[in-house]
Structure 1
């Protein structure tokens, strides 16, 4: 259970997650306990256990995060709830991020991607992870607000970055700490969102973006969502959308760089599409993004290998027995997606990057990059779409080279290549 109070939090946030979790599993088996972020936890490392907690017995486990995380995002955020409130909110988010809804985002995501990569070319060193965070943040803003005034966007980004740093720091509310600064920035975000909401309501136009869906919602009693509920859910969506997508995109560039033959194959697939679009002069179509088989398999294998979300938090709402073990009421329960994704029983040679393994669908409950059950990520299709669009423009417009050490991982807490993958980009000569 680690040290008093601190438990094993420091080990979790500083070690290679593969080593931390695999060592535990090797010593204790597929069910073991620990203490992280101030909470006693049960960790479960099998597909059956993940399904038990997230799907078949989901009513016995409520979604939860450590109190510090809930305070930072906001207690009314979708993923902290279950029951009717969760069901209604999830439908709102899903409807704004459905396959039909996100099709209209394609030209706008392309514009964001092209604008980003134009600043990378020229042979100077770029921190890939930080640049991908900017890209995914802007896509998140697009999906929530549509076209937002640049001043609001810049203020939200500045304060969100401070909140993000505090969210991933040790929760010590002492003046000057990252956590304390984040609390103040979170209050500023609420004020900014209040202004945006007021201006939107003055227009009296029923927009179809996420903010529009949240503002137009009425429950069975005709009640609207409060400003606080809307703000919490907007911040929750930004959290879900930014770091995770940016991390995967960073890993994709790393994996492709490490396998030049695969990179050339992906380039060939994307350049064929580029030719169909008058050498890139015409925008991508929805049908084209649905027909990038190799690139799609690269994304899936990157999601498996990197396993950005190593686990998810649940809390037992009553004493639960599972395979002869007692899970006490109030304890956190963590299905370990990373352990499942790296289990050779389900993915042979699991530490080898091999997109071809996705030519056959994985066994049920063994591939969970977006979670499972009623709390699975409602924005997974948007995330995959922005990855496909960014990869298309990177490989057709640029060539790149990783700078310095090409090994090593940093954690904060999401795993990304060392130093955020420093890369030099140049414009592709044929373009």
Structure 2
């Protein structure tokens, strides 16, 4: 689901044989990324390089096919007059980064949520009760909206930080200023497709 959403935003690809093939190529790329960089036939690294070549071929085909008004089209056309057009290799690097950050982030978050909820049955029951209560207040055909999410007090619960000046005097503060994801030139490349 997360990969299909990322593919739709990035390259306008909907569910079908192409998205299934790209799921296989994405998995092969991940295996190649986490292997020794020795290019010997039949190794995960070699298979990852072959998967990358297939993505390059897809980008080349897409360049000749015309406008689809998506992220890939914007990368292929470049910024007229102010920037050179990106090479296919650079576009592939950007696409792989977007797919990794948009898919792996979501899947890892979901996996951890399932793992931690299965470890804590009390929390799982409270979340289940909260969801059932919200669902009872809506018609069966009504979808959940942002107000429903905001009413999930247990799901959105966070820990309060103790600001007691007796424990933490004001002189012990530090000057750390966290940057937001899109606040400088090094912004998160997957912020649009991640949760």
Contact 2:97 2:190 in 1 (8 A): no
1:142 aligns with 2:8: yes
SS in 1 for 2:59: helix
Between structures 1 and 2, the one with greater strand share:
1
Q: Look up the match of 2:21.
A: 155
Pair 1:174–1:139, CA change in 2 (3 A) = same
Alignment of 1:326-337 (within 5 A): none
Gaps of 5+ in 2: 163-173
Contact 2:13–2:19 at 8 Å: present in 1 too?
Answer: no
Superposition pairs of residues 93-108 of structure 1, within 5 angstroms:
none
**Alpha carbons of 1:190 and 1:287: their partners in 2 closer, same or farther (altered >3 Å)?**
farther
User: 2:101, 2:194 within 8 Å by CA — same for their partners in 1?
Assistant: no
Contact 1:140 1:238 in 2 (8 A): yes
Q: 1:379 aligns with which of 181, 190, 195?
A: 190
Of 75, 78, 84, 1:214 maps to 75
Report Cα offsets for 1:46-68 as digits up to 9, x if no partner.
Answer: xxxxxxxxxxxxxxxxxxxxxxx
Cα 1:291–1:213 shift into 2, 3 Å: farther
Q: Matched residue pairs, number? A: 183
Aligned-pair RMSD on alpha carbons?
3.4
- Within 5 A, what are the aligned runs for 1:55-70? none
- Please state how far the C-alpha of 1:239 moved relative to its aligned partner: 1.5
- CA–CA distance in 2 between the matches of 1:364 and 1:270? 40
Matches within 5 A, 1:233-244: 233-244=94-105
Aligned partner of 1:252 in structure 2 is 113
User: Which of 85, 88, 91 is equivalent to 1:230?
Assistant: 91
The question of whether the paired residues in 1 share the 8 Å contact of 2:103 and 2:194 is answered with no
State TM-score, norm by structure 2.
0.73
- How far is 1:162 from its partner? 1.0
Task: State whether residues 102 and 193 of structure 2, in contact with CA within 8 Å, keep that contact through their aligned partners in structure 1.
Answer: no
| Aligned partner of residue 136 in structure 2, secondary structure | helix
The aligned residue for residue 285 of structure 1 is 145
Q: SS state of the match for residue 170, structure 1?
A: coil
> Any unmatched runs of 5+ in structure 1?
1-134, 298-355, 385-431
How many Å separate the matches in 2 of 1:223 and 1:245? Answer: 33
Aligned mates of 2:102, 2:119 — CA distance in 1: 26
Within-5 A mapping of 1:22-421: 135-148=1-14, 150-199=16-65, 201=66, 204=67, 207=69, 209-218=70-79, 220-221=81-82, 223-279=84-140, 281-289=141-149, 292-297=152-157, 356-357=158-159, 359-360=160-161, 374-380=185-191, 382-384=193-195
Secondary structure of the 1:242 match is: helix
The answer (yes or no) to whether the contact 1:218–1:225 under 8 Å persists in 2 is no
Give 3-state SS (helix, strand or coil) of 1:295's partner.
Answer: coil
